[in-house]
Chains A and B, each alone.
Chain A
Amino acid sequence: MTIVRPYGDTTGDGMVQLSFTLPIPHDKRAEGAAVQLANKMGMDPALLVHAKPMGDEFTFFVVYGRVNHLVDTEQVQVVERDFPLLSAKEVNATIKRRLRRRLSVVGACIGTDAHTVGIDAILNLKGIAGEKGLEYYSELSVTNMGAQVSVPDLVETARERKADAVLVSQVVTQRDAHLQNTRAMSAAFREALPAGKRPLLIVGGPRFDELMAAELGVDRIFTRGTTPREVASYLVHAITGSTS
């Protein structure tokens, strides 16, 4: 089946839930306004199940209701994993065989972003969710520059370490900082190094859109839930061109 609608408790019922706040005091009119918004969003009927004043000027609503939109799963555009997922052993073996040297990875949080949780989860030996980070891979040489690294420092370190890949983590998204920082980073690498010499540029963070890689000038975007093993597998695939 390629055409689907949301599922509440019966196939085809189209039921969804929604919560939001309106900047108006709680009264009958406010509740009507909430229903009107839900209707305009395509919920019909919209069932206002909860309304609660927050202070004098705001009201919080929970609405359940039916939407009549259809989704065609054939029309959905996503980035599917286009490389095989390898075990640590396979990653190491492939690098040894194809590259005959250790693969150099430089990671950092750039800009003012001080949240190293993403880069650390991928790089630190500790890893995440029971999966060891890239430092665990004997054939990967990992340099973790930590937080608030300037773009010129990153480029310099990447050059020094002859990085095959540069991993940049961006968590803070206020005022689109993650997008601006990524563009600045990829531009700096383009300026500093000729095409053949440039490391693979990879950014990761919970709020990135995987489809924006080309627009941001990077080779790959990883989003929420990415594990070190996926990143390692991708590196092997992209750098050694190997499929196994």
Chain B
Amino acid sequence: MASKLDLDPRVVRAARRLAARAGQPVVDLARSHTTVSVERAVLRLAGVHGADQDGIPWVNRLVDAVRADVGLGHGVAVPVFHAMRSTGVDDVTVLAQKAAAGAVRFDVPGKKADAATARRAAARATGRGLKIVDRRRAERDRLIKRLGDPRQRPWIYLIVATGDIYEDIPQAQAAARAGADVIAVIRSTGQSLLDYVPEGATREGFAGTYATQENFRLMRAALDETSKELGRYVRLTNYASGLCMPEIAALAGMERLDMMLNDSMYGILFRDINPIRTFVDQRFSRQVHARAGIIINTGEDNYLTTADAVEAAHTVTVSQLLNEFFAHEAGLADWQLGLGHAFEINPEVPESFRLELAHALLARELFPDAPLKWMPPTKHMTGDVFRGNLLDGFFNLVGALTGQGILLVGMMTEAVVTPWLSDRDIALQNVRYVLTGAGNLHEDFVPAPGGFIQQRAHAVLGEAVELLEKIVDDSLLTAIAEGTFGIMKRPADRGKGLDGVARHDDDYYNPVTVALEEAP
């Protein structure tokens, strides 16, 4: 798309440089710490699976046992695979079971040769896990080649959320048949704060369905069937967020999910998860996503639901730039960056639609190669479903006019009920009308030089640069602590999950990170 906003390339470069400077200390922090969930993800890739009779996964039991004996700072790989050798157990899940029963004592081998042997064994095991991820990615490439991508942009993204995976499946299939290109299964509200990943197929969730490996597998298989029937590859989305981000990322890679919600700051701001825990988990999970060919969706839309969408527009831009920096650093390519933003300006504000256009176009032009994720109005949906449907139509129109990559379909019953079948049908009809009637209007839509839209976009970018300068001076962790994003104040020494963070010892070893960082 040719430039429509006439952004100054020097300002854009300066913004990116500032984002990199603001983000680098956080990356350094992430590179020098590990978490219980990172270590559990390593064990999942190494083949530990299943849970005890109370539903606590064996990876949790094993990491807890290792931690109790030698701490987390060495990484669990060496103590675990050293114990495999010394106990003669050849199945790492069996080792976890024995460890849970208190029958294994972990230590860090004193002899260099023993440590090297354990490292090699761990790398072999996690290599098998990564090979599964690679095979799933190749499988996706094959299916897309055979069945094809959606015929139009933006891709149409629909949510299902019944709480019961066996109800979700027919609903997801029906949504795909009705035109959805991407299906997202919303998670149960409690899940982000669980420090373990539930096991098996689940039928009980609140306002969503638990993310489990088995639920991933069931839904992907069902959508593969539907993809064949429809002659286009229907993508599946879930959430790599909350306390188990790294593990969910690993499971998503192994079960061929296609997109994952994965924001660098969402958990900190909206779930009060400790900032360091989040940044460490996030970096690892993004490295896994990069390897798995998964498109991440970031969560900037959320800032606008708590802060004012006009006043806080630049915080979205800042967060997008930070998310981009962290994503590139973790190895994700531009096509994998579903950077988020949303249509959340109060419709009573004069020129609200033009402001929305300016903000959406700014995101488009700052990130020309990223499949931006365009999120519908929620904050100003009032229960007046008629007005809501109109608002969604205007939201769709902005999406079409500004070349958004992924369009989350807005529901007129937002804030009323979890969407009914007919709500989805009406919403899709709305999207189809706009895309059919005005899908190519972006060809003719050129904002007047120096006009309202250009000026607004320049102003937001300018404010974003100012804020980034402040963040560079104060540090990102301070900015988060002071409530710069989405009003919430989140100090680095507070929040959930902090006790699951450990600084690397000198001999820290994580075979998965090593493999992901050396891969081309």
Measuring CB to CB, which residues of chain A are less than 8 angstroms from any residue of chain B? 19-21, 52, 54-55, 58, 60, 112-117, 120, 124-126, 146-148, 172, 174-175, 177, 206, 224
Contacts and interface: CB of A to CB of B under 8 A. Distances in A.
A114 B174 CA distance: 28
Interface in B360-379: 379
B353 interface: no
Contact of B415 (A55, A114, A120, A206): A206
A124 B271 CA distance: 16
A50 B163 CA distance: 32
Per DSSP, chain A at the interface is loop
Contacts of A114: 189-190, 192, 270-271
13 contacts: A21-B420, A54-B178, A54-B421, A54-B425, A55-B174, A55-B177, A112-B190, A112-B206, A113-B206, A114-B271, A115-B189, A117-B306, A124-B487
B306 A147 contact: no
Contacts of A177: 206
Contact of B421 (A58, A117, A120, A124): A58
B193 interface: yes
B132 interface: no
A125 B483 CA distance: 12
B188 interface: yes
Nearest to A21: B422
Contacts of A115: 189
B308 interface: yes
A224 B383 CA distance: 10
B179 to A, nearest CB: 11
Contacts of A224: 383
Interface in B160-196: 163, 174, 177-178, 188-190, 192-193
A126 B206 contact: no
A148 B306 CA distance: 17
Contact of A148 (B190, B305, B415, B420): B190
Given A124-B487, A126-B306, A126-B307, A54 B422 contact: yes
Given A21-B420, A112-B188, A114-B189, A174 B178 contact: no
A148 B421 contact: no
A20 B421 CA distance: 10
A112 B189 contact: yes
B344 to A, nearest CB: 12
A114 B192 CA distance: 9
B178 A55 contact: yes
Interface centre among A55, A126, A175, by most chain B C-beta atoms within 10 angstroms, is A55
B272 interface: yes
Contacts of A60: 422, 425-426
Contacts of A113: 189, 206
Contacts of B192: 114
Interface centre among B188, B189, B425, by most chain A C-beta atoms within 10 angstroms, is B189
Interface string B263-306: 00000001110000000000000000000000000000000011
Contact of A147 (B178, B271, B305): B271
B198 to A, nearest CB: 13
A20 B423 CA distance: 10
Given A55-B177, A58-B421, A126-B307, 11 more contacts: A54-B178, A54-B422, A55-B178, A60-B425, A112-B189, A117-B305, A117-B306, A120-B306, A126-B308, A148-B190, A172-B189
Assign chain B's interface to a size class: 20 to 34
A21 B163 CA distance: 22
B418 interface: yes
Contacts of A116: 270, 306
Nearest to B242: A114
Per DSSP, chain B at the interface is loop
Given A146-B272, A206-B415, A19 B422 contact: yes
A9 to B, nearest CB: 17
B143 interface: no
Given A112-B190, A124-B487, A174 B207 contact: yes
Contacts of B190: 112, 114, 148
A116 B193 CA distance: 15
Given A112-B188, A146-B272, A174 B425 contact: no
A124 B487 CA distance: 9
A11 B306 CA distance: 43
Nearest to B208: A174
Contacts of A172: 189, 206-207
A115 B207 CA distance: 11
A147 B383 CA distance: 23
B308 A147 contact: no
Contact of A21 (B188, B271, B418, B421): B421
A112 B272 CA distance: 14
A52 B178 CA distance: 13
Contacts of B271: 114, 147-148
A126 B426 CA distance: 34
A175 to B, nearest CB: 7
A174 B307 CA distance: 27
B189 A52 contact: no
Contacts of B207: 172, 174
Interface in B448-481: none
Interface in B300-321: 305-308
A125 B488 CA distance: 11
Interface string B386-399: 00000000000000
A172 B417 CA distance: 10
A24 B396 CA distance: 30
Nearest to B379: A117
Given A112-B206, A224-B383, A174 B418 contact: yes
Contacts of B188: 112
Contacts of A147: 270-272
A116 B488 CA distance: 11
Nearest to A53: B425
Nearest to A56: B177
Nearest to A59: B422
B5 to A, nearest CB: 29
B425 A52 contact: yes
A174 B206 contact: yes
